[in-house]
Amino acid sequence: MKRTYSVKFYCKKSAVLKDGTAPVEVSLIYNGERLQWQLPRKCRPELFSKDEDLQAYCTTIKNRLNKIHTNLEINNEVITAYRIKDIFLNGNEHKSYTIQNLFDDGLRVKKAERRAISTYRKYELVADRFCPRTGLNPNMEAGRVTVTDVLNFKSGAESEHSPVTVFKELKHLKYFFKIAFESGKIKSNPFATYKIKAVALEKPYLEYSEVLKLKTKLIASDRLDKARDLFLFLCFSGLEWADLVNLKKEDIKKNSIGQLYIKKPRVKTNIEYVSVLYEDAVDLWDFYKGELPIVSPQKFNKNIKDVAKLVGIDKEISSLTARHTYACYLLNQKKLPIDVVSKMLGHNSTIQTKHYAKMFAETVFEANKGRETPKRRGYSYMEYIEDKKMLDAFESMFNL
């Protein structure tokens, strides 16, 4: 495919300074991509085309840019207007763009997004694990990474993690190559020929009857009893673990009708949520005098799994299970509209909330109460079956 390339120079009247001069600008166009930047020279716009020294200077600049473009073509490297300008200004024509550079750049962009530290750390872990799993050298050119290397990374992840975690790690890895490809640092993206297969992210939750069972169970172990209390607080406040850890006494407010609530931006996304604390959460908050027995998330998730076994709940539960339970509780028990629940959870849109919109089994049974198929008066279905058997036998006896 034919590529367009041109270099032009301008001294615009619209950019005239107080002394009557304007900066000289270079315009570089490659394959429809245009970049402009100022050169360290000034001139009166009306004299620009007549100034021989300045024209000779512009010719020198053009020759340098042409040489960079030609060298990139000869070496069969990625060519973009941005790349030509970068080499011209920074003189890094012969520097190889390595796998390490690819991850460093991606992490720099991700850090600038100001996401939660925990989110940034997930990308950092993928960057750390890529070379050990694939056997590639971090100093190898990033453009030489192939789909085979991606599959090797996937294979290594599968030996260590669940399918859901593998899916997330591949998405994070794809992010790094997308950033490098779109900025022209690599010529091809290994993910162009590999589609990540989505994994159904099961969001377990507790039925209301299971929550009641959890509430009423006598637990002798202080460690497990506190884990149960924390889980119940999450069930009736909807907080994520990071938001719970950062919760302070002054964050609990009371509205004009006496409801306690929390109104804060989420730690993970910085989106504001409004969590109404229901009676059980208020009781626990008062019981612990605003100082909940916080432990590490790893300890909590281990403890709450032990609680589930003790109580007889046959589900793989964690702190996230409590948040999902809260959403289902609002939709099923409180009958709140989904847009209200979305605001209480701190979601961007109701599309996210729909993942939590599971229906309690009790809700299904309640909705069907009184809607059973009416029986025939004085004649049951089983009686009909018996009569049909007798009729069939009679017809068979007389060959009817």
Q: Report the pLDDT averaged over residues 317-328.
A: 87
Is 65 within a domain?
yes
- Residue 392's pLDDT is what? 65
Asked if 272 contacts 346 with a C-beta cutoff of 8 angstroms, the reply is yes
Instruction: Find the length of the chain.
Output: 400
Grade residue 368 by pLDDT with cuts at 50, 70 and 90. very low
* Pair 52, 116 in one domain: no
Q: Cα separation of 66 and 89, whole Å?
A: 14
For the question of whether the overall pTM of this predicted structure is more than 0.75, the answer is no
Q: Which amino acid is it at 33?
A: E
Give the mean model confidence (pLDDT) for residues 378-388: 56
Asked if the model's pLDDT at residue 361 lies above 60, the reply is: no
336 backbone dihedrals φ, ψ, rounded to 5°: -80, 150
Give the DSSP H or E segment for 295: none
**Residues above pLDDT 70, as percent of the chain:** 85
Examine the domain organization and report whether 352 and 255 are in the same domain: yes
- The verdict on 54 and 147 lying in the same domain is no
Under the banding of pLDDT at 50, 70 and 90, the label for residue 376 is very low
Q: Computed over its alpha carbons, how large is the radius of gyration of the chain? A: 33
171-194: pLDDT as tens digits: 999 999 999 988 888 888 999 989
pLDDT of residue 270: 82
pLDDT over 50 (residue 252) = yes
Residue 203 in any domain: the answer is no
Whether 212 and 354 map to the same domain: the answer is yes
pLDDT at residue 386 above 70? no
For the stretch 82-129, pLDDT in tens is: 778 878 887 765 567 889 999 999 999 888 887 778 788 999 999 999
What is the model's pLDDT at position 189?
Answer: 92
CATH classification at residue 187: 1.10.150.130
- Distance set, CA 102 to CA 108, 119, 130 (Å): 10, 19, 12
- CA 110, CA 397: separation in Å to the nearest integer? 84
CATH of the domain at 321: 1.10.443.10
> 246 and 345 share a domain?
yes
pLDDT in tens, 158-173: 998 888 889 999 999 9
pLDDT average, residue stretch 368-375: 49
Residue 369 domain-assigned (yes or no): no
- Residue 390 in domain: no
Q: Which domain holds residue 276?
A: 208-364
- Is 72 among the domain residues? yes
Check residue 360 and give its pLDDT: 44
Q: Give the pLDDT score at 357.
A: 62
Domain assignment present for 63 = yes
CB atoms within 10 A of CB 185: 20
CA angle 307, 344, 339 (to 5 degrees): 125
> Do residues 237 and 310 both lie within one domain?
yes
**127-139 pLDDT, tens digit each:** 999 999 999 999 8
Shared-domain flag, residues 113 and 255 = no
221 and 356 belong to one structural domain = yes
Number of folded domains in the chain? 3
296 and 358 belong to one structural domain: yes
Residue 399 located in a structural domain: no
Instruction: Look at residue 338 and tell me if it is in a domain.
Output: yes
Are residues 125 and 185 both part of a single domain?
yes
Contact yes or no for 148/155 (Cβ under 8 A): no
H or E segment and range at residue 290: none
Closest C-alpha to 83, from 5, 137, 10, 24: 5
Same domain, 212 and 358: yes
225-245 tens-digit pLDDT = 999 999 999 988 889 888 898
**61, 90, 119 — which closes off a domain?**
90
Task: Please provide the average confidence, as pLDDT, over all residues in the chain.
Answer: 84
Average pLDDT over residues 256-267: 88
Q: Which residue do the tokens 């009857």 mark? A: 209
Which strand (E) or helix (H) includes residue 167? helix 163-182
Shared domain for 43 and 169, answered yes or no, is no
pLDDT at 34: 87
Q: Single out the residue in 40, 56, 90 at which a domain terminates.
A: 90
